[in-house]
Structure 1
Amino acid sequence: MDNKLAIAIIFSLLLASTVLWMASAGTNKSEKDGLPKSLDQHYEHGPIYLYEMYELGESMVGITVNIQQNDITNATRSFEVFAQEYDDSSLMVPEWRGYYKPNDVRKMGDALDAGNIPGVFAAMGEVGETCARCHVDTMPDVYNKYYWNDFRNVENVEIDTPEGPKPWVEAKMKYLLTGFDGIGINIKQGNQSNAERSFNMFETMFDNMADACGSCHDSEPKYYISDDIQTMIDDMGSNITAGNLSNAEIIRHDIGDSCHRCHIIHIPPQYAKLDGK
């Protein structure tokens, strides 16, 4: 089979699978798998629910602080604040009422009134367990919906390629990836000139695609596409030009590790947005 035809077929399959995944990922998780709609109102004008959780947690810790400092009078006051915060927060998202255990809160107050400090902490532990269960069940989705951008927006960014502007996904698969992997393939085959060609492709596409990060990030990068990574890319190119292909391959692996670290940060929250789990 002609090499160009083989490459075209392979690329077409890769691109088709990527586009198919993007299409199937076009909707967020369904309501039954995601968060209750009643939570939305508490994030429309800032993270009100988060602030309420801070107040709730601080008042609970306040009981412990006062007891540790042998200030039972203020421990009682802290409990009263906590009990009110607990009750108020339980009304904010009706669908999450099952996580609240008011009987355990009452046990905490009764133990405090009786001077039974071990009983206070035992009841507090019961309350804390249900708090932790709620956090495990809901916090990732809350962070995802209200704090993380949707990385699917990046696919609408057009990237300069040898063929002209192309969508981000196509530019990545057809040029960035083939440039990066092409370096390693040509090094393994001992082909210095083609390794240089692949390097030039990768370097150009790395620079072109770095701008896509601005779709979400508005601060100066400190990693992944920062100056130290650019220095590594320059060093890899210098080693290829000098014929030090084994050194270039070591550097390429280090650059790949930086790419992987970016994937670790971005892929889990993005996948969590997709239909299903």
Structure 2
Amino acid sequence: MTALVLDCDGVLADTERYGHLPAFNTTFERYGLPVRWSEDDYAVKLRIGGGKERMASLFDDPGFAAAAGVPDDEEGRRELLARWHRTKTEEFTRLVAQGRVPPRPGIARLVSAAVTGGWTVAVASTSAEPSVRAVLTTAVGAELAGRIPVFAGDVVPAKKPDPAVYELTVAELGLDRDDTLVVEDSRNGLLAATGAGLPCLVTVNGYTRSESFDEAVLVVSELGDPGRPPVEVLADRAGVAPGEQVELEDLRRCLRGRGTGGGR
């Protein structure tokens, strides 16, 4: 059984710049918190897997904790963080519903081709499940999204780069690791995929382009669509040699010629 497992943020849509960052800042403003993240600030925060975990990093600043009235006890902090994150998820979902978060090129085309071709397609993300489902529906349409299983949020205790979410996806769907290709956009995601023994194609974005992707089978600027500029191939360790856009046959070549990427 051939399978395609997709990350959400930065793969299904350009969510970080147009969705998550403004949703975090709106949440901070709504709660009167003394912080606003610039794009440069957020680029640093993206090294932390998970939205709640990024928010929790604010607690490391004693000045912020005092100004924001953060409780000293662990339970109080956990409840406060959960409340902030619920608000952030609601705001992010609103932005997606308003069409403010653009799907990435090639996603709808390739997901449709994979499902039609009999592939198992799933989404594995460390973002909150309501956010992931909203993005998936916007990216591929409600009918197709309803046929795609989603593993997201707190379904596993450890976030990427830990491979737990991919290990769970493989186990729950009964996937063959040698016939399962992951699409990621960041080094943390790549490490999570390869840590689970899965070959990985990386489609970079503005936040991640400069990261190291030495373990990836194929690294491209985007998946591409008709009418767009040809995709830029940044690394090709499996001899895939895609044309102007990445096609389903290119994904098959990623699996057949794993090169140096994807091994345990």
Task: Tell me the TM-score normalised to structure 1 length.
Answer: 0.26
Higher share in strand: 2
Larger CA Rg, structure 1 vs 2? 1
Compare relative contact order (CA 8 Å, sep 6+) and give the higher one, 1 or 2.
Answer: 2
Higher share in helix: 1
